[in-house]
Copies of this chain bind each other. A is one copy, B any other.
Amino acid sequence: MPTPSPKHDICQQCWMECICQHASQTEAPACKPNPVLKHTSELKCRELLYSYHDPLKSIYVIKAGAIKSFQIDLNGQERILNFYLPGEVIGLEAIQTGFYPYSAIALSKTLVCEIPYESLLDYIADYRELQRHIVKVLGFRINQGQYIINHHAEQSLAAFILDIAARLHQEQVTLAFELPMSRYDIGNYLGLAPETVSRLFTRFQSAGLLQVQNKKIKIISADKLRWVSQEGLAS
């Protein structure tokens, strides 16, 4: 049995898939371009997708790779706001003001689909079910990243690992995966020193919660990790 084409594979987990499909099928199929999807482009590692305060033209869906969003504070220090993984939408944060409130940069070779914001709003205006989908997409983003407000570093990191694992595999926590970001990035995002992140990985490994080899993570006990994310590593 042949596996689905790569393109299809990638799009199955995409938050915009239903709208993108709808647009490409409903409109004059072949002659007109898809009114929602502008094009897909590839970013090199460390290439900027957009910069702080650029005007909102498009939102983007990550197809492969990963992106981090960050600001630079008065000291010139980077402050990471979020990570965006395959299937997720980046750029919605600009809706409030019309300008991106952060810079976005690729963490590795990254594929993104560009969706012009105005075209999207115009297009969904005529389709009630697509409106509801967009509201869902926004509703999802509202709930992200709540776990950062943990008092203890162990809790933050355990919750972070579970979150990334779930997002990389669409809600099913799978055993093995590769972290798209560095220890420095994790620490910056969680408000921890990179050394602390490193030490915790070692302790998590000793405690039999997971196996670590550089960026390769293998979750041994998701249940124990979940426990640690709530109660801390008391042992």
Contacts and interface: CB of A to CB of B under 8 A. Distances in A.
A93 interface: yes
Contact of A96 (B134, B143, B150): B143
A106 B95 CA distance: 29
Main secondary structure of the interface of A (DSSP, over half): helix
Interface stretch (A18-26, A120-128, A162-170, A206-214): A120-128
A125 B128 contact: yes
Contact of A121 (B79, B121, B132, B231): B132
Interface residues of A, number: 36
Interface in A60-76: 73-75
A142 B75 contact: no
Given A121-B132, A132-B121, A136-B96, A146 B81 contact: yes
16 contacts: A74-B230, A74-B231, A75-B230, A81-B146, A93-B142, A93-B143, A96-B140, A101-B143, A121-B132, A124-B131, A125-B128, A141-B142, A142-B142, A149-B189, A149-B191, A150-B191
